[in-house]
Amino acid sequence: MIKTELNSSSQLYLERNYTKLPKLVLFRINLVLLATCDLRPATCEDLRLLKWFPVVNSPELNNLPPIKLIPLNDESLPVGHDRQRKASTRPPTDIRWVKVLEFLRSNNLAPNSRKLYERELKRFLGWTQLHYHELRLRHFGQYKEYLMEACCTDGGKPLSKSSVNAGLAAIKSFFKWFTLAYPELLTTNPTLGVKLEKIPLPAAQSLTPEQMERVWSALELLGETKQRDTALVHILSHGLRAGEVVNLNVGAFDGKLLFLGDTKNDQPRLVPLRQQSRDVLADYLRSRSVGGEELNSGSPLMISHHASYKGERLSYHGIYFAIEKIGELAQIEDLHPHQFRHTYATDLLLLGVDPFHARKLTGHTSEKAFRRYTLRSEQEAAIAAYYRAIGEEEAQ
């Protein structure tokens, strides 16, 4: 028998008044007695069975399982057990990022725009640990300074003003949404006073008539992809974005017009094609049908010739690769699909098409964004007006 550290009178008192003591007192006394007897705490029933007679050979005590101590250091953990469980444990989700994902889901963004927003918002959340309601205008000023002085491109160069503005625009768009979606969390938009960097209006990257001639000549040098790429350039030369071409199906072409239902600004539009372009596109589709392909309205308008994706829809990167190859043959450095769109918009204005109608054909919603195309036509019109005024119309 193991003696407790309670004297005999105290132990006798406890035995007689056990049921009258408050539960908290009983709990503490039981702990003391159990610690004195060096016993492992069992269930509440075991505590009551013990009362104040700490006999170690009690049947209730002998049946208790041995104490198993688990060390906390990783080195002593069994291999493939707790280590594996620890490795699979994910860090807690940042509640701020949950709101970003909700924002991305609630806005019908184009794939490239969504990728840009996600990248820029992730960079911003990595810069600060503050929650949205804690951010003030000064924090965004500090972040703008961080983008301009501390951030670099993958090539190690400082971010351009356009890249800085893209990052700030993504943040401003998110907080505009957040204040509308969660006014109880953020009553005012803290980014309202954030100013973007002033950037001169860039000139349109239009191709000259001489460059376009070289493009048409380069198409004649192609092999298997000649017919497809010729049709591709004809379509791009009507102002379509590469992403819009990707989503086109055979049913979008009615022999004269192209119907674009899936556009960057979610505004469907019709694009009239020139006679030569209509014939080229019709010949391309006819050759696919003659080759054994069963065409229907849901078939992709442009298909890949790559060995791994042959016959599948031509991808965004596939279009860029095809135009890049044409640029190498035409000896036009860094030729990309969007240059054909710039050329189309500029040519429309030089032909005298009303800017409002030109924007309808190109799918521009912003008059400011379209302004870059009007500069050249306005300048040429001003030069012509000058020569007419001085009687030298032939000099133009």
Using one digit for the tens of pLDDT, what is the confidence trace for 7-33? 455 455 545 554 554 544 444 445 444
State yes or no: pLDDT of 384 exceeds 90.
Answer: no
Choice among 91-95, 123-127, 129-133 with the minimum mean pLDDT: 91-95
pLDDT tens-digit map of 338-382:
999 999 998 998 888 998 999 999 988 888 778 888 887 788 788
Residues 361 and 239 in one domain: yes
pLDDT at 364: 87
Residues 173 and 222 in one domain: no
Q: Does residue 385 contact residue 393 with C-beta atoms inside 8 Å?
A: no
Q: Supply the mean pLDDT for the chain.
A: 81
> Residue 170 and residue 62: Cα distance in Å, rounded?
68
pLDDT at 35: 44
> Where in the sequence is the domain holding 246, given as residue range(s)?
209-388
CATH number, domain with residue 285: 1.10.443.10
State yes or no: pLDDT of 56 exceeds 80.
Answer: no
**pTM across the whole model:** 0.58
Between these two residues, 231 and 78, which has the higher pLDDT value?
231
Between these two residues, 44 and 120, which has the higher pLDDT value?
120
Residues 225 and 363 in one domain: yes
The structural domain count of the chain equals 3
Residues 227 and 374 in one domain: yes
Residues 145 and 250 in one domain: no
Residues 49 and 148 in one domain: no
Residues 32 and 134 in one domain: no
pLDDT tens-digit map of 73-101:
545 455 554 545 444 455 556 889 999 99
State yes or no: pLDDT of 189 exceeds 90.
Answer: yes
